[in-house]
Amino acid sequence: MGLEENFTASANQARGFTKRPPDADCLEVYALYKQATVGDTNTAKPSGGELLSKWNAWNSKKGMTQKQAKEQYIAKVAALAPKYA
């Protein structure tokens, strides 16, 4: 499988987790997914709450290529899967 297929398979696997990973891992997976699919943050910084946490996590990936983000996303999901799938 190529990178795109592996990325899609990993995204489907993450959506199918039966247990919720810790918040830090969820934010990392979210940030890598957004960077892989959208690129650098393209919205204004929210004022607070969960949206701010997600935005900060995503913004921490600023400058990372979408290819790098996909590779890291695949690796992160693979690391989480044995415990949370």
Three-state DSSP string of the chain: CCHHHHHHHHHHHHHCCCCCCCHHHHHHHHHHHHHHHCCCCCCCCCCCHHHHHHHHHHHCCCCCCHHHHHHHHHHHHHHHHHHHC
pLDDT averaged over 10-residue windows placed end to end, the chain, 85 residues: 97 98 98 98 94 97 98 98 97
pLDDT at 1 (0 to 100): 87
CATH number of 3-84: 1.20.80.10
pTM of the model: 0.95
